[in-house]
Amino acid sequence: MIKNKEITSRDTDFAEWFTNIVQKAGITDYSGVKGFFILAPNGYALWEQIQAVLDKEFKKTGHKNVYMPVLIPEKLLKKEAEHIEGFAPEVAWVTHGGNQKLDDRLCVRPTSETLFCDYYSKCVKSYRDLPKLYNQWCSVVRWEKETRPLFRGREFLWQEGHTVHATAEEAEFETRQMLDIYTKFFYDYLAIPVIVGQKTEKEKFAGAEYTFTCEALMYNGVSLQSATSHYFGQKFSKQFDMQFLNKDNKLEYMFQTSWGISIRTLAAIIAVHADDNGLVLPPRIAPTKAVIIPIGKDEKVLEACNKIAENLQKEDISCILDGSDKSPGFKFNQYEMEGIPVRIELGPRDLENGTITLARRDTNEKIQIPLSENINEKVKNLLEDIQANMLKRATERRDKMTYVAKNMKDIEEIITNHPGFIKAMWCGDQKCEEEIKKIGGTKSRCMPFEQEVVGDTCVCCGKKAKKMVIWGLQY
């Protein structure tokens, strides 16, 4: 396959390659506001697919959608000191309403814990009111110093779940349940193999008792925190006086969770699967599964293509028929760029020979089949094969780029020459975590639930190790 000359090779300059892809594939673009990006039609369509799948899963487990205000009073935000300290450098403030200066400035939400806490403190009175399982689809603003499309913008779309429970057991079950939903989503829909585990004390969410995470590895060996689920215990509820009458008719503080995923997920899809010709979308999340391209203007060809499109749509296989006067080569490049999983080609000669060509985006392989065959079944099977192959390839690459480090020299060599996930033992001391960070900004990604023993001593200080940790560079 000939490389698209408009795209920088990902092996030459990954950052430039990524920017080329998101712009030329119609995912996102720069706006007139520094650090704020436009989510273009193809990007928004992909986000809608993600939203549709996850929203359905959330509702299966009893969650309901709500919407909180975009502004938070400063005095409300300050109620939880650890939380505000974690977000303070990134907060955007509203100080005027029209020409009038506000008596109390308002924060543009960086996250909505405080608003949910304030609401729950008023609407929950008894254990009979619990649990409250709420989720919000919205945007948040965080004043990032360095921005890049999808990975880090000053405003981004996400969902944030906020739940309260009568017992710690229920809240901790919720925390793990939501992580499992995310994990399954990454594997089954995005074809991205994530490592799941718990964040260290240093890297957990500000104000949480503990944080669970899904960590994905990008093509260039940099990791991306792709979804998180937090257990708050009673930390926030005590600060916001979130009490309820329990079954013994005694006042007790609620137990709380929070969990979320954002449009950084789009960055993961691109940075894991795309190639030098554009996007490669996993079929189960692709807004359009197939594109039909008639070769030439023959009426019989157009009629046959229309029939194929109708039949695919009857089977809920989303497709488009491009009968425009653009050249076939231009169309091929366009839809390769957009990552549509299957391309169907039909011309006068094919019609005469009773054949049709299917091209798969993941391998660029072309398959010729008789027109008399069940095209719907062929496309369905091909889509499932592409989905499975994409997960297989991503898993093989992740495993190939996962290394074991026995000492600090090993970490430095890996980070400098071939970054990826690093398995290394850790004593649990935050000082060692800080020392490791000095190696090019290497951070702990998570302590995997599935622990391995890759040594007896801490990779940094040499003391007895407590945990195997995944380390790496991060976006």
CA-wise closest residue to 423 among 470, 358, 371: 470
Q: Are strands 251-253 and 421-426 parallel, antiparallel or unpaired?
A: unpaired
* Residue extent(s) of CATH 3.30.930.10 domains in the chain: 14-273
* Residue extent(s) of CATH 3.30.110.30 domains in the chain: 402-472
Secondary structure letter of residue 126 according to DSSP: B
CATH of domain 290-385: 3.40.50.800
Cα(335)–Cα(320) distance, integer angstroms? 11
CA-wise closest residue to 425 among 446, 400, 455: 455
Cα(270)–Cα(43) distance, integer angstroms? 11
Amino acid 3: pLDDT? 66
- What values do phi and psi take at 329, rounded to 5? -60, -40
3-state SS class at 21: helix
pLDDT at 374 over 60: yes
* Residue extent(s) of CATH 3.40.50.800 domains in the chain: 290-385
Dihedral angle of Cα 383, 386, 387, 388, to the nearest 10 degrees: 120
3-state SS class at 367: strand
Amino acid 1: pLDDT? 53
Here the tokens at position 107 are 């924060």
Amino acid 83: pLDDT? 66
Q: What is the mean pLDDT of the chain?
A: 96
CATH of domain 14-273: 3.30.930.10
> From the CA atom positions of the chain, what is the Rg in Å?
25
- Specify the length of the chain in residues: 475
pLDDT at 205 over 70: yes
CATH superfamily of 402-472: C-terminal domain of ProRS (3.30.110.30)
3-state SS class at 304: helix
pLDDT at 449 over 80: yes
Which H or E run includes 156?
A: strand 155-165
pLDDT digits (tens, 9 = 90+) for 378-433: 999 999 999 999 999 999 999 999 999 999 999 999 999 999 999 999 999 999 99
Distance of CA 147 to the CA centre of its chain: 17
pLDDT at 41 over 60: yes
Percentage, residues of the chain above pLDDT 90: 94
- What values do phi and psi take at 307, rounded to 5? -65, -40
Residues contacting residue 429 through CB under 8 Å, at least 6 positions apart: 458, 461, 463
